[in-house]
Structure 1
Amino acid sequence: MRPIPVTFGMTLAAAVMLAPSATLAQQADDALALVAVAETATSEAEAVDPTAPRAAADVTLEEFQWIARPVIVFADTPADPRFVEQMQLLADRPDPLLERDVVIIVDTDPSASSAIRTALRPRGFSLVVMQKDGSVGFRRPSPRDVREIVRGIDNFSFRQEELRSGGQ
């Protein structure tokens, strides 16, 4: 099978036309390979959705240092009304959070003792907004709307520097 350059807008018919001298079986193999590449790219794009909350047990704060601002939502159970309210507030307005490189992390299992829970030691419900350098920007004991969160982020010295240097 000879290599065929792949673009995401390529149709199956176009893939077959790129290899006119190939046998029908080779053309079918090439087309199936293109479909597999497109499916992989689609699933990878979905897997890195920045607005999708991540479980604290699956990540560490260090992996976001200088890359993103973790917003961590802690609760003792996913049924906590404050947790439910906070997650709804975050989901309602994702764009301002994306503009500020926010990644949402949730931890609703105190017995699991995730590294993030151990480091930040929340009690009950807690909203913690981190800075890009890994330090705590602010903590809140009750749900906050996106407007208040982004105002707090915009007051971080690192965010001010980003704005001055023409970053996001």
Structure 2
Amino acid sequence: MIFVPLVLAGILGDAFGKLFDVIWSVIKWIGRLLKKLFQGLIDLIVGFFEVIYALIDGLLYFLYKIGVLAVKLFLLFFELAKMIVSLFVGFAKTLASLVYVPRGGSGNGYSDMLGKIFTAMQPLKLEPIAYILLFILWMFTAVAAIKLLSSIRVGGE
């Protein structure tokens, strides 16, 4: 009697095993069918979003490069303005130094001594020579600055 339930259990186990194998095969077949049916649609949707992503990526990169160019142009004009301002400041200081008026010192004896030297040199009339030398110095400096600025080319030499 013990043998009968074991045989019956083996038959039922094999039957249900084969039944579940068939059910699992049907589920896998339906899955493969759905994959084949929707794979084209999924590829189309993925391709569309890849194109959209590439367009957005290109646009953002373009905007980034425009920003980099704007910063570089700003720095270029800022440095150019600094150079022009320093050139004018140097010109103004040179023109201001053409006329030296000895003043009272700020606690040291150098200004008083320079004032005495300039007073003693008044009869020699050396001011025109100093003016001429300062003008020549300024002209050479201006010509050198213009040559330097004109030698700067795109790409250099």
TM-score range, shorter chain: under 0.3
In proportion to residue count, which structure has more strand?
Answer: 1
In proportion to residue count, which structure has more helix?
Answer: 2
Structure with higher Rg: it is 2
TM-score by length of 1: 0.25
Identify the structure with bigger relative contact order (alpha carbons < 8 Å, sequence gap 6+). Answer: 1
